[in-house]
Chain A
Amino acid sequence: MTNGYHIVVCGSIVPDPLQTLEPILAPSGPALKNEMMLPAILDPWAAHALYEAAELAAKVAGSKVWLVSIGPKAKLQQVMMTIAQRVSFEFVPVDASASGFADAQATAAVLAETIQGIPGLDRARLLVFGGWESASRGAGATMQLVGERLAILDQFQGVDKLNLQADGSLEILERIEGGRHQASTCLGPPALFGWATGDLPEPRNNPQVGMANMRTVMPALQRAKSMPLPANGLHFLSASPPKQQRQTRVVKDLSAEQIAREIAEWIGK
């Protein structure tokens, strides 16, 4: 790859996992109680995809990274205050619902349309990155739908590793059952990758990167198009938190030997 890759990362925002989530029924369907008040983060798997994209772009001269993100503008701005300090990218926000109850098909349509609208994007150099699932809908379907809309036939899900080969091909490791990886080689772009966790640590905050990113992030947020996400005939009959609350027996007064015997008996039942 002499001219570098055009890497588009799809990544939405999700409520901070430490928050308690309570569903409510709104006229348009289920939603989270006080959703706009909940602190948000970039979806964890999408964040891995972004870090891998930045790493790849740093390795291959001439590469560029875009982050296409769907969410309410105010929440996107809050999340960018953190994410923009980690790696360099051009931000392409879409002002729309980031709800996990939104339909994957509708979300994918908006993402694909937005990607196709990125000026100067070269399909021959295009790598579409994203999380293999989200921490909201958790469907593991949106990226494939985006890929189909972009007519990308080389798609990989649960990706933990992407190696550049000397001949320009790509070697990919995808998670499969039983703690194993399927290895594949792909001739090159265009291709789509739904990332699992990869193997990169979270980048440290870099204020210089943050300042450079924020010069484009804020104008991009101001320009962000508001787009509706149609329900596409999806109806929720119910949405409720799990009811099961265990009555925990806290055992403080047994020796290690006694505890071991109790656990062994329990395992053997």
Chain B
Amino acid sequence: MSHSILFLAHVSESGSTLPKAAYEVLGAAVKLSQQIGAGLTIGVIGSNVEAAAETIAAAGADRILMVTGPDFETARYASDAAAAEAICRAAGADLILAPATSRFMRVLAGVAHRLNGVVDTHVTSVEVVNGEVCATRWYYRQRIEGVIRRDARPWIVLLESGCNAPWVQSALGAAAKAVVEEIPVTLSDAAKRTVVTGVRAPKSDAQTIRPDADLLFVAGAGWTKRQSDGKPHVDQAETLILEFLRVSGASLGGSKSLVDQSGESQAVLRFMTHLNQVGQTGSTPRHPKGLSTCCHGEEPHVVGWRFINERRAVNLDPNCGWARGKADVLYVADAFEVMAKLNALFSERSQPLVEAATLNT
């Protein structure tokens, strides 16, 4: 049984708050600490954490520990590991809960080794079963769900986003704000051999990956294949897909066979990269709904849809994978025709709004 829990977070890129996933993990940490009667400590890492720490100061933690300074502004393994290690040692917690952000996924396994502890990642829930803390996570790329517990402590658990309700300050009366303690960490020269130089992102109008979108739109390799007239229509496919992303606000995913084509010198959708890839060797995004087009819905791709609740697909093959219990609805139709009609519908619906906005100005 854990008697103390550390909620560990880093500041968001804006520097004034925590990442969205961190508030969800805090919600889970507060709930768990109440369930098992464990003390809660909060740890925050960043260049300047005061503003972010203030947003969670009333979460009911006994202590808030922070490692701050310019050395901890960017996501670098050596500095983040030193900071997280220092906070974990100062907290002395049995169970450490943290969000599975790219920054923490890079570093917390190494921290577990330094603490002589253990780590589990991509955890979707932490619960108490028969008095023991247990974690649920997926194995074999979302094909097998396992529930585990660990004897060793400290146990670092990285929780996935979208699995827990975020912590929100109670309107009825907040807990007393915890005292903030700064933990000094000095980096050696060896820890500064790497310098983070920046973030590279597509231009905002070319950004097709939108983690917060309500809809995942997946394009399969069929978009680049020969159509009913015997010719491929890649330019038309690009126009239809980009227009749909524009009018619907959806996030774009791709099947492996489609994104691989760029490396094999075949006709490609120019905006589609490996970053868009969903499935066995791609991402497992979390959106409430998913619409698949020109994709066969084979198992290696569909494992990436594990956390998409409502699924529909458009495919010419009535016996494709989607028809075998993997989608709620399969439309047997030409995706080029359907998407053209769908774009026209969305444009019609947004037109009055655009006109009204124009009149008001």
Contact = CB atoms under 8 A, between A and B. Distances in A.
**Do chains A and B stick together as partners?**
yes
Interface of A: 14-15, 17-18, 20-21, 23, 30, 32, 44-45, 100-101, 103-105, 108, 135-142, 144-145, 147-149, 153-158, 160, 171, 173-187, 196-202, 232-242, 245-252, 254, 256-257, 259-264, 266-267
6 contacts: A155-B77, A179-B209, A238-B146, A248-B322, A256-B341, A266-B289
Contacts of B110: 144-145, 147-148, 155
Given A178-B211, A179-B201, A145 B194 contact: no
B106 interface: yes
A182 B75 contact: yes
Nearest to B75: A182
B76 A184 contact: yes
A174 B102 contact: yes
B122 A140 contact: yes
B146 to A, nearest CB: 5
A28 B324 CA distance: 34
A21 B333 contact: no
A177 B211 contact: yes
Nearest to A185: B195
Contact of A179 (B75, B276, B322): B276
Interface in B134-187: 134, 138-152
Contacts of A145: 109-110, 112-113
A264 B346 contact: yes
B345 A233 contact: no
Interface string B108-120: 0110111000111
Contacts of B209: 178-179
Q: Bin chain B's interface residue count.
A: 35 or more
Contacts of A153: 77-78, 81, 190-191, 193
Given A135-B140, A155-B106, A234-B148, A105 B113 contact: yes
Contacts of B199: 176, 180-183
4 shortest A-B CB distances, which residue pairs? A179-B209, A233-B151, A260-B341, A201-B263
Interface in B216-264: 248, 260, 263-264
Contact of B121 (A32, A141, A174, A246): A141
A107 B16 CA distance: 39
Given A21-B143, A183-B200, A233-B151, A251 B107 contact: no
A40 to B, nearest CB: 13
Contact of B274 (A197, A252, A254): A197
B249 to A, nearest CB: 10
B139 A138 contact: yes
Contacts of B134: 237
Nearest to A244: B325
B34 interface: no
Interface of B: 74-78, 81, 101-103, 105-107, 109-110, 112-114, 118-122, 129, 134, 138-152, 190-191, 193-202, 207-211, 214-215, 248, 260, 263-264, 274-277, 280-282, 289, 291, 298-300, 303, 306, 310-312, 314, 318, 322-334, 337-342, 344-346, 349
B248, B339, B340, B342, most chain A CB atoms within 10 A? B342
Given A104-B109, A138-B138, A250-B330, A233 B152 contact: yes
B207 A236 contact: no
A145 B118 CA distance: 10
Contacts of B118: 103, 105, 232-234
A135 B151 contact: no
A105 B113 CA distance: 8
Contacts of B263: 199-202
Nearest to B200: A181
Greatest chain A CB density within 10 A among B141, B310, B328 is at B141
A140 B121 contact: yes
B146 A263 contact: no
Given A44-B281, A184-B195, A232-B152, 4 more contacts: A175-B102, A180-B202, A233-B151, A248-B326
Contacts of A17: 141, 280, 299-300, 303
A18 B144 contact: no
Contacts of A147: 110
Contacts of B139: 100-101, 136-138, 239
Contacts of A141: 109, 112, 119-121
With a 10 A CB-CB cut-off, give which of A153, A176, A242 has the most chain B CB atoms. A153
Contacts of B74: 182
A245 B107 CA distance: 37
Contacts of B331: 251, 254, 259, 262-263
B330 A175 contact: no
Contacts of B327: 246, 248
A239 B145 contact: yes
B211 to A, nearest CB: 6
